[in-house]
Structure 1
Amino acid sequence: MRAAVLTRFGAPLAVREVPDPETGGGDAIVEVVATCVAPYAGEVFGGERRYPLVPPVVPGIGGVGRILRVGPDATKLRVGDLVWCDPTVRSRDDALTPDITLQGWSSRGEGGARLAEHMHDGAFAERMRVPTENVFPLPAAAGDDPARWAAISVHAISYGGLLAGGLGAGETLLVSGATGNLGSSAVAVALAMGAGRVVAPGRNKAVLDLLADRFGPRLRPILLTGDESTDRAAMSAAADGPVDMVIDLLPPSAPASVSRAAAMTVREYGRVVLMGGVGMLGGDDLALPYPWIMRNSITVRGQWMYPRAANVGIIRLLASGTLALAPERVRSFGLDAVNEAIAYAAEHSGPFDRTVLTPTPGTACPPAPHGTSG
């Protein structure tokens, strides 16, 4: 089969023939139809983000595909089924604290690195091997536009963070990093889940206006000034009441002061969920005040990716139309254009911009109405 291979950090991906994946019990072989290219993929492959990938490796974080083979332990999946392949692979020998690897992308700790050796290659290929428990059936309608449904890789992450914080219907949420690719997803998912109000701070007025236009009065945009106390006061005022929960999705380039200003808007007994990259590449620590956390009974929680059940939940939101995919701008690239796709994704990292790789010929995203597809 053909695949795009990271041969070394800093080199373009090489499209070449590689051996077909083999499966036994516990795995499925999937023909990859569509997979999202992350806006920061070039930073990963260039080595700037220092991800623990081990070249040569086929990268790619999850995707939409059709089942070619399943093992004997699969009782409901069938050959030909259109499915979502979750890249969050967990070890099977520890139910309490399983090791985790993001297949073809990253891993956590020594155990995660060992798991990555076993589930090494990701979705930038015509076919991939996926653990059976990571394969989730998609509705028939997804087959009409599979490239658009590849956005599950983005929406599942923000959905997982909102689940971790226990977002309830009617609550007020503040999304730190709302103008980014992942943060804008959190805005859309939160409103689909029934949030009463979402406060969206950011530095890009055009993007804030776009969010306000799409989501109406339940979205409260705030243009940040860079002054921590001023911004905190503005975010609190925009909520027009208590902020029940804050989710932080800022990238590694963001200063800790921006995350801290957002986090400290949360009410007494409120929740703060940290999912971004602040501090990952150096810089100041978040440094939330101990007395403030203790005296206000604040819950601060980190969340990496999402639980398995979140895949089912996000697919239901999309299938019902509660979370809309139609307005998203999708640009598809074939496997031979993988390096063009990586460059394009970096240049189009705004809200609801999706860059999609279609490794199997004939699976590009069809044109969408009103210019929503590139």
Structure 2
Amino acid sequence: MNDFQATADRVEIQALQGEFTDAVMMRDRARLARLFTADGVLRMPNVPIELVGPEQIRLGGEKLQEQWDFFVQTTHPGAIEIDGDTATGRAYLHELARLRSGFQGLNYAVYHDRYQRTPDGWRFTERVYEVRYLDTTPLAGSAPGSTGPHAAAPTRRSTAPAPDSTAPAQHATAPAPYTEPAPAERLERAAAALRANGFAVEVLDDAAAARARVAELLPADATVLTAASETLRLSGIDEDVNGTDRYRAVRRLASAMDRAAEADGIRRIIATPDVVVGSVAAVTETGALVAASAGGSQLTAYVGGAGRAVWVVGAQKVVLDLPTALRRVQDHALPLESARAETAYGQPSAVNQLLVLNAPARMTPGTVLLLREAIGY
């Protein structure tokens, strides 16, 4: 390859990188998809997302972009190595984003690329997105005309004294509450992703429907552990299990045992019930369940100890991705659970154990009852 051709290829590949950023910024999903070969892949392991082929990339772009309040991406080209009709390269990114879920911040990232020469010019065969730095401090600014919950009011001069730096942060920059039920299309996306990851999923109308379905799923006389859960308490499922003789309720069995002399036996029956019934702090649209615990008593059952797991999840717990799920745990679920624990036990709660289930454990088939209404934290 002569020097002129190599230079022309590098210029065209850099133009391809720029076209990608322009399509993202202009929210032109169809144009974005056309920048990939027929088997091209867009991978974002930190999200996590993997999209294969132009159609998935187009649809995935729609799902991501409909979550934005605003998004800004600046791209700087890196090294490019050309080998005939293929090439590898990198691009460096600075991004600002605020999602309608309340997640916001800035990051620096790298795209690791592979390219292919085609009759229509150079195209991506693979883009892998790697986050190198993430700052989720609430953003002070706002996009003009922003319609999200953090849209700034018009700015005007004021002669009033500056606020005391020790005063609480204003609500205008606080994360949005995680209490609104996700709309039907987001529930279906989460359900589809969970199914693709190996979970059984049923989308039900409300807590009453979940209560009836749990009764159908639990075999009579089975050992059943109910995880500590406001969802189970409010729905009546906790009382159905622990307040009747239909099942061998693990909490009832454990409470009758001597905590000192029979500690090992208590540990065993909690870890290995026939069925564990609980909830989670968040479920992502990429198909993951996120559970947090102060004591961890339910987690062993969730990840292989129980013969089967059933999770009842309110619609307000559906979030876009894992980073948003972790923020929901810390910013929303923990304060509410701490307040409950202070009243019940005289001490706050804590996220001492954090479990992310990207698929059910091999020995514990999992069923997610995803509700259309909000319930629990």
TM-score (structure 2 length as normaliser): 0.28
Task: Report the structure, 1 or 2, having the larger strand content.
Answer: 2
Indicate the structure whose relative CO is greater, using CA pairs within 8 Å and at least 6 residues apart: 1
TM-score (structure 1 length as normaliser): 0.29
